């Protein structure tokens, strides 16, 4: 599961986690939702990113976030493939944890990687994707912090 397009550092990190073993990925990305706006703003403030907190209301959400999410997903899948991994992806609009569980069962995945920015409020209350996924998927869930997105990479609206 990802929130933003994978950076080259993210791609290198996830594709080398298991040494030289071949790996394949099913990348799930959920477009931003308005219900998360307050939590994102609080996280921005906690990280000292006041300007970003003030701009949360300007970020595309809902249907407007779908196209940027698809671009970011396509970029990420292409980057994983360019690194030599098999990859496919889906933008998930509803019930992301149920979709994730279905993907794990369908592919007989060995693990789930949640690549995310720090979310202090959600993590404190165990409402972040990784914490919630651990109770749903039946395989180990590895939570990694994503690298910053370069300016010339496609945006996922965030």
At 83, is the pLDDT very low, low, confident or very high (cuts 50, 70, 90)?
A: very high
CB atoms within 10 A of CB 131: 15
Domain boundaries, the chain: 8-36+61-140
| Separation of alpha carbons 30 and 95, rounded Å | 10
Location of structure tokens 């939702």: 33
Q: Strand pairing partners for 87? A: 25
* Range 137-147 average pLDDT: 86
Burial (CB count <10 Å: 0-12, 13-18, 19+), residue 20: exposed
pTM: predicted TM-score of the whole model, two decimal places: 0.73
Q: Strand pairing partners for 27? A: 89
Q: What's the CATH architecture for 8-36+61-140?
A: 3-Layer(aba) Sandwich (3.40)
Long-range contacts of the stretch 49-52 (C-beta < 8 A, 24+): none
pLDDT at 124: 56
Task: For residue 28, report the phi and psi dihedrals to the nearest 5 degrees.
Answer: -110, 130
pLDDT above 60 (res 73) = yes
| Separation of alpha carbons 77 and 58, rounded Å | 27
pLDDT at 32: 62
* Range 90-108 average pLDDT: 92
């Amino acid at each position: 599961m990802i929130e933003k397009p994978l950076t080259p550092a993210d791609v290198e990190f996830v594709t080398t986690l298991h040494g030289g073993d071949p790996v394949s990925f099913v990348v799930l990305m959920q477009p931003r939702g308005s219900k998360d706006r307050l939590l994102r703003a609080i996280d921005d403030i906690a990280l000292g990113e006041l300007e970003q907190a003030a701009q949360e209301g300007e970020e595309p959400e809902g249907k407007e976030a779908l196209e940027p999410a698809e671009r970011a997903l396509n970029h990420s899948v292409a980057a994983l493939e360019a690194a030599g991994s098999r990859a496919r992806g889906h933008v998930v609009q509803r019930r992301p944890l149920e979709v994730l569980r279905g993907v794990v069962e369908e592919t007989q995945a060995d693990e789930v990687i949640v690549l995310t920015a720090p979310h202090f409020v959600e993590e404190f209350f165990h409402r972040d994707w990784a914490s919630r996924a651990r109770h749903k998927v039946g395989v180990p869930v590895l939570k990694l912090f994503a690298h910053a997105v370069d300016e010339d990479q496609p945006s996922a609206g965030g």
